[in-house]
């Protein structure tokens, strides 16, 4: 055997000459290493109807006891966010710790952070769809939901960070009697277009994907109401509401093959539309920095580096939220298997290496470029007053994914969750490092100044996390969190030729 | 405003008690039944209601020509209105007024300690809004000091005394009127006629005013035994005594620094903050701005304990504690006399002095004393030795003697006799008076424009003695501690609202004429009050001044009227400047004095020398001027505070360095905090924060006075610490043997500049030694076609640019055609390349004049901050308070960066200053990033800011490499500092009002809005702002040209017609502004000079503001000159830092291998190809 090269081994296996590789620890049964055997995407031999029951059960049934306490906590933070934003708008941007040298700090850090979180959803939905990665069906709906919620959080920050919020409409190209258009040269304006386009397409994508599932929920509510009427009982209010709301949202979906045909086509088209957006949005966000002349910002590496970082951070957030959800929601584990988690861990490893490469290239170019201001900016990142932020970023983003070289850790949900948590923190610090450490020591030492966050900075960020999580909790509670139709399509039962 | 004049509510304002108990107000029995007293009781409208008594005001209005339409309360129909007597021209606009056009009136401002500045005050619809120097006045020649600029704040100070108040022994504090005072005073002062006023005393500020002198003499005729005490707390008594020693009578020193080649300052801040400093700065700068190689330059040696503006301008600066400066002076005197033939008795006296520790007097390896003495002797008649206030009288006398020996007297320095008031021994007389007060010998004490309760030396115990005097009458413009201790508190008239006159340092007499009627009631000036008290024929200031002048000029009627009108117009009394004298210094007297001099041992950490120094708030009188509180202190750049300053080594030895370590305390992980220390000066103790200042003398502590005011106003009260409480009369300027021990607690210190080092970025402030300048200054490459922007493809760069990045970076050109100027190569404005290569359908941008530019000469700049304050006054720039400065939110449109060079924080090489306004970049980084087009380029090359359009993304500020943009984080321009917070702050002191967050502050008083310049928008919150090159002045000039026939034919705006506020105020003329396309403009000639360079020019921003490199003139005997174009040689201490070497290496490479791009990369990796 030792004389065979790996390809020969694989070939023999595929030919059935060698038996399937069995490992001692195969987890939940989705971790089959044999390339000749497709790991199951749904475990426990669920019937198609069971999938409907599981997914609709989340949206229709009572949630576990965990839901309400978490929801109360997160919605409290939404309240805090509202208070902080009102205070900011009533009083002035000075309630944050910004100053005339560090004019952006947590506000834009949070903006870029949340925009980055939003990237995993569209990547999973669009790019993995085009690449026909079937495992995406387990996570795409929730990842898309995260995209929407994250972009809402992200969009809030540029809007409230301006000095005069009531004039924010100046950034839109609205013909006005002053004949003043926005400045189309400004990357901030590109942001306006990029983020709003991204949000619109992501929302459409998310919504369109849910139409068949909405129809299922509608029909189930309808069925229950008919049954109630038949039995002479009163219709239940939730069912009535579901009937109306999902009836409206499902846009008259009747499961006809013509509907399915057009649905598939539209889905493909939207996937095609969304794919460049995955790359463009964060590239454009990175232009906010790359087109500036500040040492530490003025680098051409930013667009790919930001996109890789966004995917990295987005997947980390998906894992960070879905691994706990998997534990507390019944039947979830059958749909989101260890195989899925391992796949995403691999993506974390790859994109983590990409950002690590980008970090090192920044240093190399700063040294190789021979610009003393730029070299100083990077040396200052690692050794200046904000060294702790830089090294937090490095250890979270570059070092922590290295654990995923070990299969055991990749397949261990707790380990993956911890790394995802680290990466989520690390990606926030990455944006903080880029923004604040570059600004606080720019060209003229006479004008160097530190940035210290105020409680308003901190609570506004916590509030935005609360908003994100609150939205996600509502999503878990009321919407189909798996694409039922698509999951069914990747189940063995769907393949009538292979299935016995 | 609390004093509304509605009859229906008026009564509520009255003090309680009152009408039905007339007999309790009886303390001076004589008063009980006077008509004045009865009137006081029965007035319907007591305070402030009858302030306008028609005739006299009309008189002055008529004569001024201002034509202010004033009216009493009776003519105003509105019931509630502020107690302000200024109205718009409602019906008849005076003939000479064009609404919206400013009018300028000449006046003069008395400066602390005597002397004056001639001013032109800009008034808008009757409101004085901006103080500018009077070009016709010889003492400042159009320049103005920060004090004069900020004095407008004193006029519109809402905490001013607004009406007289009286402390009735029975009824307590009562509001009163001037009529009440008049009635009281008539009877009260009559008591002194019997014994000639022996129980009567006056304490007045030192002021050189012929009118006040005349009124004083009239008054003393009535009460010859009255005590007249001209008092200045920080009086330079040693200088007066020194000149008395040397010449027999006290003399003023007049300096012509423009004639000096060698200037030696022994702790004298001759360029800033003293009388005549404006002229000194311009004279000094005149000798330091070489246009071509080989021009002569002066050389400045400074020996000082702290870091002053003069020290920062020095070629050689030695840090030395004040007691050692005395020894240094003795050694210098000895050395000079040795070289000039012994010096007779004086030489012997100096010989007899044992001068220990000559090693301290070295710079590098050189003996500084010998070098200076050689230099002085080599430039006889072209040098000057200056002695500062920390030195005893004997050293001042020695200085006069040396100037005489060296032939400098009569050439560089000349003298004028001092007036009586000016020469008075303030502190000595105050000691006597205070003793008499304690003995109960004083019945009535009149204080005018002085604050001895606060600032008298601690050993006089003045405040408790003051409280014992039965009748204390205080006249003051602003609120003071002395006011609060007085029985009569009279509201004084600001110099901008009263008639007076001044005599400046050079003896020129100038009128002080009012710009506006007194804002609050019938305020009186000091001369008016004296006249009123003494019962002179008139106490109207106008009549007093005219009478004085008629006496001086001996003219009458028509001829006098003509002269009077001309003087008011010109702001000076013609031909009043006396010829200076050159009295002989008496070497024997000086020798006698010097022989009594005792030289103290060098101070140590355990026996510190303490220097009590004045700063921007002077002796405390300007403490309520927020602009000056927020103007950074020299050296430390601390604002809103007066910490004890120590050198880093001394602080370390005393374990008092800032908690974050002295290496870089400013960029630590928290806001800078200072440790508290207990300063013990001769047994008096004060606990103050301790801060480090690089470049200070070791074993020496500098304490600024004038802080810690208790009654000052909303700005100054509670700011800093009252160091007068440890200052005794025998150590008024310098005390020795003090100790400083660590005390409990820490304190937040706020500095506008958080970093002391230039971090090796030597191209920011470029310097060259004179020898190298002489070598290379005239070299200009043959094809040096781009004179304005120095570097273009294929073009060589000028000398100054060769000292920076442009010498070894690729030419900063775009790869795209810039749609704004339709070029890639960025040709110059007016360049032929425009016309030939690029002329298409449209004329190119920036090719038509005027194209504005500014040049800032770092050789001339002293770092005084005059530009900052002038800009603040002109452009309505708000003050943000200590808390906001701590956060880095100060709003100054032109700031002065300060850098120390060298590697040793304790003993830095040089102190450098660099004013940084907006550079008005042609390729402005701020413009491209603004999403809403709020900042865009004007056709005259300025980077314009459209406040209405700004939404406040702050992206422009992030992308500005010079960080000159300022954001309104709160509604700064609408708030004042006394918010709703009261109570104790930390350390048991009153809460520092500047810690009140701006959002909790009160709205601005109406009165303060009157000082705003109507030509400049008040910026609201959330808006970015920055320097505009005073575009309102440019626009006004353009309008003037358009409407005036005689100017319509001019091709453009003539050079000099527009001056920016900073340029106008800059005493050393370091800032030039004008049209770059105008071949004859001054700024153009500076721009094409070999010294001109762009700050961060390699960024291709094409700044319109450029700098001229600083030329140093080191004495070769002290340190060798460095030539940046030859490999680094063993230099002196100054340039030996590592970065200087690498800079020299980089340039050396350029001379051998012109491809600079690769060279710098090699330099970075350390491969010396």
Looking only at the bridges linking them, the beta strands covering B200-205 and B444-448 are parallel
| pLDDT mean over B977-997 | 49
B531 falls in which pLDDT band (50, 70, 90)?
A: very high
Q: What DSSP string describes B471-524?
A: EEEEEESS--HHHHT-SEEEEBPPGGGS-EEEE-TT--EEEE--SS--SSSS-B
Nearest to B932 by CA among A184, A159, A193: A184
Selecting from A100, A189, A372 the residue whose C-beta is nearest the C-beta of B963 gives A100
Mean pLDDT of chain B: 81
Domain spans in chain A, listed from the N-terminal domain onward: 57-201+275-490
Distance CA A461, CA A112 (A): 12
Q: What is the pLDDT of residue B363?
A: 84
* Residue of A92, A370, A445 with shortest CB distance to B1160: A370
User: What are the residues facing B611 on neighbouring strands?
Assistant: B702, B734
Mean pLDDT of the B728-748 span: 89
Kindly tell me if the per-residue pLDDT of B708 is higher than 80: yes
CB contact under 8 A, A163 and B758: no
pLDDT of B903: 81
Find the mean pLDDT for residues B277-281: 92
B288, pLDDT greater than 70: yes
| CA-based end-to-end distance of chain B | 75
Whether A375 and B1164 lie within 8 Å, measured CB to CB? yes
Predicted confidence (pLDDT) per residue in A371-383, tens digit: 888 999 999 999 8
The 10s digit of each residue's pLDDT in B499-529 is 999 999 999 999 999 988 888 878 999 999 9
Q: Is there a contact between A163 and B1023 if contact means CB atoms under 8 Å apart?
A: yes
B1075-1115: pLDDT as tens digits: 888 888 899 888 888 888 989 888 888 889 999 999 999 99
Is the alpha carbon torsion for B552, B553, B556, B557 positive or negative?
A: negative
- pLDDT at B29 > cutoff 90: no
Peptide bond into B850 cis (omega under 30): yes
**Residue B91 pLDDT grade (very low, low, confident, very high; cuts 50, 70, 90):** low
Round the average pLDDT of chain A to a whole number and report it.
Answer: 87
Check pLDDT > 70 for residue B354.
yes
DSSP A496: T
Q: What is the mean pLDDT of residues B760-786?
A: 78
- Give the model's confidence band at B1142: pLDDT under 50 very low, under 70 low, under 90 confident, else very high: very low
- The Cα–Cα gap between B463 and B442 comes to 14
- Four-residue CA torsion sign, B1129, B1135, B1141, B1143: negative
Longest dimension (CA), chain A: 84
Give the pLDDT of residue B67: 34
Task: Identify the DSSP state of B1163.
Answer: H
Contacts of B15 (CB under 8 A, 6+ apart): B171, B172, B173, B174, B175
Query: Is the Cβ–Cβ distance between B386 and B265 less than 8 Å?
Result: yes
Contact list in A for residue B1024 (CB cut-off 8 A) is: 163
A198 min Cα distance to partner chain B (Å) = 19
Q: Which residue has the higher pLDDT, B42 or A164?
A: A164
CA max distance for chain B:
100
Q: Are B799 and B779 in contact (CB under 8 A)?
A: yes
H-only helix segments in A232-291: 237-249, 257-290
Whether B818 shows a pLDDT value over 60: the answer reads no
- Measuring CA to CA, which residue among B55, B57, B47, B56 is closest to residue B83? B47
So what's the pLDDT on residue B361? 85
Contact B300, B881 (CB under 8 A): no
Question: Which pLDDT score is estimated for B223?
Answer: 92
The two tokens of residue B1088 are 């094409």
Predicted confidence at residue B876, as pLDDT, reads: 92
Residue B590: left if φ>0, alpha if ψ -120 to 50, beta else—which one? alpha
Lowest mean pLDDT among A26-35, A392-401, B125-134, B818-827: B818-827
Residues of chain B neighbouring A173 (CB-CB closer than 8 A): none
Q: Is the pLDDT of residue B9 over 50?
A: no
pLDDT computed for residue B817 by the predictor: 64
C-beta atoms of B999 and A98 within 8 A: no
pLDDT band at A10 (very low <50, low <70, confident <90, very high): low
pLDDT surpasses 90 at A408: no
Shortest distance between the Cα of B391 and any Cα of chain A, in A, equals 34
Return the pLDDT at B412.
Answer: 92
Q: What pLDDT, on the 0 to 100 scale, is given for residue A431?
A: 94
Q: Could you give the CA distance from residue A481 to residue B332 in angstroms, rounded to a whole number?
A: 90
Q: What pLDDT score was predicted for residue B819?
A: 55
User: H or E stretch including B202?
Assistant: strand B200-205
Residue A470 has pLDDT above 90, yes or no: yes
pLDDT in tens, B370-386: 999 999 999 999 999 99
DSSP A93: G
How large is the average pLDDT for residues A444-457? Answer: 90
Strand stretches in B658-760, DSSP E = 673-681, 684-692, 700-704, 734-748, 750-751
Interface contact A446-B759, CB threshold 8 A: no
Q: Which residues of chain B make contact with A185, given a CB cutoff of 8 A? A: 928-929
pLDDT band at B635 (very low <50, low <70, confident <90, very high): confident
- What ipTM was reported for this prediction? 0.91
CB contact (8 A) between residue B951 and residue A446: no
Rg (CA), chain A: 25
B819: closest chain A residue by CA: A185
Residue B7's pLDDT is 36
Q: How far apart are CA B1042 and CA B1022, in angstroms?
A: 36
- The C-alpha torsion from B49 through B50 and B55 to B59, rounded to 10°, is -50
Q: Which of A225-239, A256-270, B621-635 has the lowest mean pLDDT?
A: A225-239
Search chain B and give the residue with CA nearest A442.
B961
User: Are residues B780 and B293 in contact, defined by beta-carbon separation less than 8 angstroms?
Assistant: no
Where is mean pLDDT largest: A29-33, B341-345, B554-558, B1048-1052?
A: B554-558
**Over pLDDT 70: what percentage of chain A?**
91
Per-residue confidence (pLDDT) for residue B997, from 0 to 100: 65
Put simply, the answer to whether B999 touches A92 (Cβ < 8 Å) is yes
pLDDT in tens, B565-596: 899 988 999 888 888 888 888 888 888 888 88
- B717-728 pLDDT, tens digit per residue, is 888 899 999 999
Contacts with B1160 from chain A: Cβ below 8 Å? 370, 372
> What average pLDDT does range B282-291 have in this prediction?
92
Chain A residues whose beta carbon lies within 8 Å of the beta carbon of residue B759: 376, 445
Separation CA B547–CA B565 (nearest Å) = 14
pLDDT(B53) > 50: no
Other Cβ atoms closer than 10 A to B357: 13
Q: Is the pLDDT of residue B1145 over 60?
A: no
DSSP A115-160: HHHTHHHHIIIIIHHHTT-GGGGGTHHHHHHHHHHHHHHHHHHHHH
| pLDDT at site B811 | 62
- What is the C-alpha to C-alpha distance for residues B130 and B123, in angstroms, rounded to an integer? 7
Could you say which of B668, B898, B933 has the minimum Cβ distance to residue A180? B933
* pLDDT in the model for residue B666: 52
pLDDT at B994: 55
Which residues of A are less than 8 Å from B758 in CB distance?
A: 445
Q: What is the dihedral of CA B396, B397, B400, B406, to 10 degrees?
A: -110
pTM of the model: 0.86
Instruction: Look at residue B1025 and tell me whether its pLDDT is greater than 80.
Output: yes
Q: Is the dihedral of CA B975, B977, B978, B981 positive or negative?
A: positive
Query: Best-predicted range by mean pLDDT among B208-222, B736-750, B833-847?
Result: B208-222
Sequence-separated (6 or more) residues with CB below 8 Å from residue A359:
A394, A397, A398
What pLDDT shows up at residue B309?
93
Interface test with A, best of B663, B912, B932, B998 (most A CBs within 10 A): B932
- Reply yes or no on whether the pLDDT at B76 is more than 50: no
Strand partners, B490: B475
Q: Which of B27-31, B796-800, B819-823, B1121-1125 has the lowest mean pLDDT?
A: B27-31
Kindly report, residue by residue over B910-967, the tens digit of the pLDDT.
899 999 999 999 889 999 999 999 998 888 889 999 999 999 999 999 999 999 999 9
What pLDDT is recorded for position B54?
Answer: 41
pLDDT at A19: 61
What's the confidence (pLDDT) of residue A103? 93
Cα distance from A443 to chain B (closest Cα, Å)?
6
Supply the pLDDT for residue A493.
Answer: 72
Taking the C-alpha atoms of residue B11 and residue B14, their distance in angstroms, rounded to an integer, is 5
- Identity of the residue in B928, B1022, B1163 whose CB atom sits nearest the CB atom of A92: B1022
**Main-chain phi, psi angles of B686, to 5 degrees:** -145, 140
- Does the pLDDT at position B424 exceed 50? yes
What whole-number distance in Å separates Cα of residue B1155 and Cα of residue A76?
Answer: 63
**Contact between B932 and A170 using a beta-carbon 8 Å cutoff:** yes
Following DSSP, what letter does each residue of B89-153 receive, concatenated? --S---TT--TTS-EEEEEEEEPTTS-EEEEEEEEETTEEEEEEE-TT-TTTTT---HHHHHHHH
Q: Residue B884 — pLDDT band, cuts 50, 70, 90?
A: confident
pLDDT tens-place string over residues B669-678? 556 788 899 9
Give the chain A residue nearest B916 (alpha carbons): A446
**Contact flag B952-A442 (C-beta cutoff 8 Å):** no
**B347 sits in which H/E element:** helix B344-352
- pLDDT given for residue B349 in this prediction: 86
E strand residue ranges, B213-361: 227-231, 251-255, 262-266, 299-304, 316-319
B589-617 pLDDT per residue, tens: 888 888 888 888 888 888 999 999 999 99
Going from the C-alpha of B929 to that of each of A290, B826, B954, B984, the distances in angstroms are 11, 20, 10, 46
Determine the pLDDT at residue B824.
57
């Amino acid at each position: 055997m030792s004389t065979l090269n790996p390809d020969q081994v694989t070939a023999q296996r595929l030919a059935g000459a060698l038996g399937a590789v069995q490992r001692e620890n195969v987890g939940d049964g989705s971790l089959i290493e044999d390339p000749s055997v497709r790991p199951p995407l749904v475990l426990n031999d669920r019937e198609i109807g069971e999938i409907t029951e599981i997914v609709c059960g989340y949206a229709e049934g009572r949630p576990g006891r965990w839901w309400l306490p978490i929801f109360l906590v997160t919605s409290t933070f939404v309240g805090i966010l509202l208070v902080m934003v009102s205070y900011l708008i009533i009083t002035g941007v000075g309630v944050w710790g910004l100053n005339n040298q560090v004019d952006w700090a947590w506000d834009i850090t949070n903006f870029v952070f949340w925009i980055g979180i939003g990237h995993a959803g569209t990547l999973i939905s669009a790019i993995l769809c085009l690449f026909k990665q079937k495992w995406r069906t387990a996570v795409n709906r929730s990842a898309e939901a995260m995209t929407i919620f994250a972009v809402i959080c992200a969009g809030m920050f540029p809007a409230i960070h301006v000095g005069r919020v009531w004039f924010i409409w100046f950034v839109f190209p609205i013909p006005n009697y002053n004949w003043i258009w926005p400045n189309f040269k400004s990357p901030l304006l590109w942001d306006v277009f990029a983020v709003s386009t991204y949000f619109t397409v992501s929302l459409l994508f998310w919504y369109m994907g849910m139409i068949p599932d909405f129809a299922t929920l509608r029909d189930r509510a309808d069925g229950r109401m008919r049954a109630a009427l038949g039995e002479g009982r009163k219709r239940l209010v939730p069912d009535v509401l579901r009937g109306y709301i999902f009836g409206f949202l499902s846009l008259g979906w009747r499961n006809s093959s013509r509907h399915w045909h057009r649905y598939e086509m539209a889905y493909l088209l939207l996937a095609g539309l969304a794919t460049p957006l995955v790359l463009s949005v964060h590239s454009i966000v990175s232009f906010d920095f790359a087109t500036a002349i500040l040492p530490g910002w003025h680098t051409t590496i930013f667009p790919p580096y930001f996109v890789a970082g966004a995917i990295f951070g987005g997947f980390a957030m998906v894992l960070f939220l879905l691994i706990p959800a998997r534990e507390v929601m019944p039947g979830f584990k059958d749909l989101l298997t260890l195989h899925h988690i391992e796949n995403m861990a691999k993506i974390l490893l790859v994109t983590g290496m990409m950002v690590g490469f980008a970090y090192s290239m920044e240093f190399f170019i700063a040294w190789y470029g021979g610009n003393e201001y730029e070299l100083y900016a990077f040396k200052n990142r690692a050794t200046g007053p904000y060294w702790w932020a830089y090294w937090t970023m490095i250890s979270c983003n570059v070092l922590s994914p290295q654990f995923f070289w070990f299969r055991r850790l990749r397949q261990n949900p707790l380990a993956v969750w911890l790394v995802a948590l680290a990466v989520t923190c690390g990606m926030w610090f990455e944006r903080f490092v880029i923004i604040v450490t570059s600004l606080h020591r720019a060209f003229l030492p006479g004008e160097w100044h530190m940035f210290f966050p105020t409680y308003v900075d901190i609570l506004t960020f916590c509030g935005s996390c609360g908003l994100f999580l609150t939205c996600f909790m509502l999503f878990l509670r009321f919407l189909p969190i798996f694409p039922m139709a698509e999951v069914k399509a990747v189940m063995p039962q769907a393949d009538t030729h292979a299935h016995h | 405003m609390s004093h509304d004049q509605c009859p229906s509510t008026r009564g509520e304002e009255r003090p309680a008690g009152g009408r039905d108990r007339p007999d309790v107000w009886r303390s001076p029995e004589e008063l009980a039944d006077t008509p004045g007293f009865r009137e006081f009781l029965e007035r319907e409208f007591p305070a402030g209601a009858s302030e306008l008594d028609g005739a006299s005001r009309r008189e002055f209005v008529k004569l001024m020509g201002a034509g202010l339409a004033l009216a009493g309360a009776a003519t105003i129909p509105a019931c509630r209105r502020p107690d302000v007597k200024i109205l718009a021209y409602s019906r008849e606009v005076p003939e000479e007024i064009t609404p919206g056009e400013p009018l300028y009136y000449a006046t003069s401002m008395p400066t602390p300690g005597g002397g004056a500045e001639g001013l032109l005050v800009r008034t808008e619809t009757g409101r004085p809004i901006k103080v500018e120097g009077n070009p016709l006045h010889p003492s400042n020649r159009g320049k103005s000091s920060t004090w004069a600029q900020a004095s407008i704040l004193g006029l519109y100070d809402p905490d001013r005394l607004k009406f007289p108040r009286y402390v009735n022994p029975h009824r307590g504090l009562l509001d009163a009127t001037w009529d009440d005072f008049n009635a009281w005073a008539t009877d009260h002062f009559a008591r002194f006629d019997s014994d000639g006023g022996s129980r009567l005393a006056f304490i007045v500020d030192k002021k050189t005013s012929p009118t006040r002198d005349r009124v004083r003499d009239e008054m003393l005729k009535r009460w010859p035994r009255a005590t007249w005490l001209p008092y200045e707390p920080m009086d330079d008594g040693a200088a007066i005594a020194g000149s008395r020693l040397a010449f027999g009578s006290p003399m003023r020193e007049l300096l012509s620094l423009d004639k000096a080649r060698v200037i030696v300052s022994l702790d004298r801040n001759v360029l800033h903050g003293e009388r005549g400093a404006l002229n000194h700065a311009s004279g000094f700068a005149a000798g330091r701005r070489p246009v071509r190689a080989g021009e002569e330059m002066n050389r400045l040696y400074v020996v000082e304990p702290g870091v002053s503006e003069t020290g920062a301008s020095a070629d050689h600066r030695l840090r030395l504690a004040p007691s050692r400066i005395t020894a240094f002076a003795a050694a210098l005197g000895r050395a000079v006399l040795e070289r000039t033939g012994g010096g007779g008795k004086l030489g012997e006296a100096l010989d007899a002095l044992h001068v220990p520790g000559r090693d301290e007097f070295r710079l590098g390896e050189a003996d500084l004393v010998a070098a200076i003495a050689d230099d002085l002797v080599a430039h006889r008649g072209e040098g000057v030795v200056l002695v500062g206030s920390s030195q005893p009288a004997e050293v001042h006398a020695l200085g006069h003697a040396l100037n005489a020996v060296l032939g400098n007297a009569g050439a560089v320095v000349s003298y004028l006799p001092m007036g009586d008031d000016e020469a008075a021994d303030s502190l000595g007389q105050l000691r006597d008076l205070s003793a008499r007060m304690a003995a109960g010998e004083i019945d009535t004490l009149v204080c005018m424009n002085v604050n001895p309760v606060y600032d008298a030396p601690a050993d006089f115990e003045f405040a408790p003695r003051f409280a014992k005097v039965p009748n204390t009458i205080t006249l003051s413009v602003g609120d003071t501690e002395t006011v609060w201790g007085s029985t009569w508190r009279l509201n004084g008239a600001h110099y901008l609202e009263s008639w007076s006159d001044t005599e400046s340092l050079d003896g020129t007499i100038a009128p002080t004429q009012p710009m506006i009627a007194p804002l609050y009631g019938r305020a009186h000036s000091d001369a008016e009050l004296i006249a009123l008290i003494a019962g002179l024929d008139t106490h109207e200031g106008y009549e007093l001044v005219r009478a004085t002048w008629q006496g001086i000029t001996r003219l009458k009627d028509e001829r006098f009227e003509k002269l009077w009108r001309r003087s008011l117009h010109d702001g000076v009394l013609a031909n009043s400047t006396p010829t200076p004298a050159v009295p002989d210094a008496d070497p024997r007297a000086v020798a006698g004095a010097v022989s009594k001099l005792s030289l103290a041992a060098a101070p140590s950490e355990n026996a510190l020398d303490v220097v009590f120094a004045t700063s921007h708030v002077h002796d405390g009188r300007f403490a309520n001027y927020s602009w000056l509180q927020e103007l950074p202190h020299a050296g430390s750049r601390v604002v809103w505070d007066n910490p004890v300053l120590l050198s880093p080594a001394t602080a370390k030895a005393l374990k008092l360095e800032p908690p974050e370590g002295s290496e870089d305390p400013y960029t630590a992980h928290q806001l800078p905090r200072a440790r508290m220390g207990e300063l013990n000066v001769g047994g008096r103790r004060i606990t103050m924060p301790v801060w480090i200042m690089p470049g200070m003398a070791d074993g020496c502590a500098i304490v600024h006075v004038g802080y810690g005011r208790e009654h000052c106003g909303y700005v100054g009260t509670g700011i800093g610490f009252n160091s007068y409480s440890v200052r005794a009369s025998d150590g008024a300027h310098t005390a020795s043997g003090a100790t400083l021990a660590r005390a409990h607690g820490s304190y937040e210190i706020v500095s506008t500049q958080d970093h002391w080092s230039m971090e090796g970025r030597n191209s920011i402030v470029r310097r060259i030694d004179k020898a190298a300048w002489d070598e290379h200054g005239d070299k200009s490459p043959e094809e040096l076609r781009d004179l304005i922007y120095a570097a273009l493809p294929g073009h060589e760069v000028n000398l100054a640019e060769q000292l920076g990045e442009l010498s070894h970076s690729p030419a900063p050109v775009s790869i795209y055609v810039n749609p704004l100027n339709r070029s890639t190569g960025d040709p110059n404005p007016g360049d032929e390349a425009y016309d030939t290569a690029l002329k298409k359908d449209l004329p190119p941008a920036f090719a038509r004049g005027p194209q504005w530019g500014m040049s800032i000469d770092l050789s001339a700049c002293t770092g005084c901050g005059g530009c900052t304050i002038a800009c603040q006054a002109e452009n309505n720039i708000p003050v943000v308070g200590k808390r906001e400065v701590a956060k880095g939110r100060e709003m100054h449109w032109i700031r002065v960066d300060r850098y120390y060079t060298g590697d040793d924080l304790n003993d830095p090489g040089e102190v450098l200053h660099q004013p940084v306004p907006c550079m008005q970049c042609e390729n402005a980084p701020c413009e491209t990033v603004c999403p809403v087009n709020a900042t865009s380029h004007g056709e005259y090359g300025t980077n314009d800011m459209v406040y209405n359009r700004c939404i406040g993304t702050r992206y422009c500020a992030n992308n500005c490499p010079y960080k000159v943009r300022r954001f309104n984080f709160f509604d700064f321009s609408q708030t004042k500092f006394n918010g709703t917070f009261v109570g104790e702050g930390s350390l048991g002191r009153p809460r520092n009002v500047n810690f009140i967050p701006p959002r909790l502050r009160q709205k601005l008083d109406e009165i303060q809005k009157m000082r705003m310049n109507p030509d400049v928008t008040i910026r609201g919150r959330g808006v970015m702002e920055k320097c505009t090159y005073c575009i309102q002045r440019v626009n006004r000039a353009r309008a003037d040209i358009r409407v005036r026939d005689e100017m319509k034919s001019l091709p453009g705006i003539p050079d000099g017609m527009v001056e920016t506020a900073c340029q106008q105020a800059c005493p050393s003329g370091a800032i030039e502004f004008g049209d770059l396309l105008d071949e004859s403009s001054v700024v153009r000639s500076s721009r094409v000079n070999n010294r001109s360079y762009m700050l961060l020019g390699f960024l291709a921003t094409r700044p319109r503001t450029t700098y001229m490199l600083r030329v140093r003139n080191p004495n070769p005997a002290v340190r060798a000159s460095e030539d940046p174009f030859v490999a680094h040689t063993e230099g002196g201490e100054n340039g030996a830092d590592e970065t200087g070497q690498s800079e020299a290496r980089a340039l050396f490479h350029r001379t051998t291998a012109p491809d600079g791009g690769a060279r710098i990369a090699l330099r970075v990796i350390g491969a010396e190809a």
